[in-house]
Amino acid sequence: MKLLQVPTALLEERIKEELEENPALETGEEEEAEEFENEEFETTEDDFEPDGSENEYDNIDISDYVQEGDDDIADYRMKDENYPEADDGKTIPHKIETGFNELMLEQLGMLNLDEHKHKIAEQIIGNLDDDGYLRREISAIVDDLAFRQNIQTTEEEIAELVVEIQQFEPAGVAARNLQECLLLQLERRTEGGKPVELAIKILEKYFDEFTKKHYEKIQRGLGITDEQLKEVINQIIKLNPKPAGNIGEGNRNEGYVIPDFFIVNNVGKLELTLNSRNAPDLRISEGYRDMLKDYDRGSKKDKRQKEAVLFIKQKIDSAKWFIDAIKQRQHTLLSTMNAIMNYQYNFFLTGDETELRPMILKDIAEKTELDISTVSRVANSKFVQTEFGTYRLKFFFSESLQTDSGEEVSTREVKRILSDLIEGESKKHPLSDERLTELLQEKGYNIARRTVAKYREQLNIPVARLRKEL
């Protein structure tokens, strides 16, 4: 189960750990199996020296480890022609960029600060989050400096240094909240003229009304026209609410998805393959098997030799178990994905989300004869690459909804239609949840208003009032 949950990107690291811990396990290209004599290896009490012999060594059966057979796992090869070699085992290249923290410290070095203030400024920068905000209370930073670095300071001194850091690039860093972040960016726009001045005034005095799109209150309070309000909005929407959000993204490998499966449409027939990284070349060490054969051929076997044989046996057993676990992982992945592909065959042919059938974990568990928890682990952690994009497997699972005709359709289909309705609405008069419910019911979907609201929230679409544009 643990191996099943390991993503493809980290599987190589997990195998590397096992190779380092178990010298009986090797990786490499398959070699031709050495032919061994098909004789029975037997050990008797007469073969052992009487001094130091114990019962735990008496039942060692070497033949299980040195004989070759057609199904011997010792030379088990994980790869075959069914695994695509598109990546050739190469790592995905990525840009190397300066991180946000390094960028801040570089700019800090340009300030003329004494050692005391420099350490305080470093502490402030260290408290900036990934978006560039200073969300930690200044009083807490004072305590941190006192208890951890024995630096005595005041809230006023820290506040002064925060103002200095707020002048760094990118604009908006070290802000305590979104309002301050946007204002810091606007204050640097010296050539914006009247619209920038109005934008600053609106964010200072009418920030709540602006975020809730109560534009009428703002217009009444400032006495401005629709055209002036549009210019202000255009100035504000150009600002960056996360000033540090895009810095150093080249070092964030989490942004890259390595698919576990590939599905291709071969003249109307779907073909499923497993990523070659899931099929490493693993085998039992020839050296370890040779040591067992040497032991078996020997005439005298003392206690030290038998202890070594037990150690070798344990390592070979562990290696066989790991290879079996990798093989079982491959089987589980392929059987689960094959069942999903066949269940959602029309979607993988067309890429049309409305073709997705209602499907729950139990449906796939029954087809694969796997436990529901096993299917859940695969669905939550694995990706499939298709000609229409790369999807997490859980994307294909959805509940059912009944139409007027009694047909069961996927809730994902309903969400897609809901999303299309909102995309096509007039932004001056966005559709309310009640109106969206009526439109869906007109299309034959039996759905309640509260369900529409739930689906809209799951799609991260705000309410009608917040979708309104001038």
With beta carbons less than 8 A apart as the criterion, state whether 211 and 170 touch.
no
Task: Return the exposure string of 131-151: e unless at least 16 CB atoms fall within 10 Å of the residue's CB, then b.
Answer: bbbbebebeebbeebeeeeee
Task: Return the exposure string of 433-449: e unless at least 16 CB atoms fall within 10 Å of the residue's CB, then b.
Answer: bebbbebbeeeebebee
191 pLDDT higher than 80: no
Alpha-carbon dihedral angle through residues 16, 22, 27, 32, given to the nearest 10 degrees: -170
Hey, CA dihedral for 405, 411, 412, 414, is it positive or negative?
A: positive
422 pLDDT higher than 80: yes
User: Quick one: pLDDT band at residue 94, thresholds 50, 70, 90?
Assistant: very low
Give the CA angle between residues 232, 238, 243 to the nearest 5°.
Answer: 130
Domain boundaries, the chain: 1-26+58-92+256-397, 100-165, 178-237, 400-467
User: Quick one: pLDDT band at residue 59, thresholds 50, 70, 90?
Assistant: low
Express each pLDDT in 242-252 by its tens digit.
Answer: 888 767 554 44
Could you give the CA distance from residue 343 to residue 337 in angstroms, rounded to a whole number? 10
Within 8 A by CB and 6+ apart from 407, the residues are none
Express each pLDDT in 131-169 by its tens digit.
Answer: 899 999 999 999 999 998 899 999 999 999 999 999 999
| Confidence at residue 51, expressed as pLDDT on a 0 to 100 scale | 45
- The pLDDT of 323-345, averaged and rounded, is 89
Express each pLDDT in 226-275 by its tens digit.
Answer: 888 888 888 888 888 888 876 755 444 445 678 889 999 988 899 998 88
Q: What percent of the chain has pLDDT over 90?
A: 18
- Arithmetic mean of pLDDT over the chain: 78
| Confidence at residue 253, expressed as pLDDT on a 0 to 100 scale | 43
393 pLDDT higher than 60: yes
Alpha-carbon dihedral angle through residues 126, 128, 129, 130, given to the nearest 10 degrees: -90
| Confidence at residue 46, expressed as pLDDT on a 0 to 100 scale | 45
Express each pLDDT in 115-135 by its tens digit.
Answer: 999 999 999 999 998 889 999
Q: Which H/E stretch holds residue 274? A: strand 269-274
Query: Topology of domain 400-467, per CATH?
Result: Arc Repressor Mutant, subunit A (1.10.10)
Could you give the CA distance from residue 450 to residue 444 in angstroms, rounded to a whole number? 17
Could you give the CA distance from residue 86 to residue 84 in angstroms, rounded to a whole number? 6
- Which of these, 410, 401, 465, lies nearest to 433 by C-alpha position? 465
212 pLDDT higher than 50: yes
- Tally of CB atoms within 10 A around 298: 11
100 pLDDT higher than 80: yes
Could you give the CA distance from residue 151 to residue 144 in angstroms, rounded to a whole number? 9
Global pTM value: 0.51
Could you give the CA distance from residue 213 to residue 216 in angstroms, rounded to a whole number? 9
- Which of these, 132, 157, 131, lies nearest to 141 by C-alpha position? 157
Q: Return the DSSP state at 398.
A: B
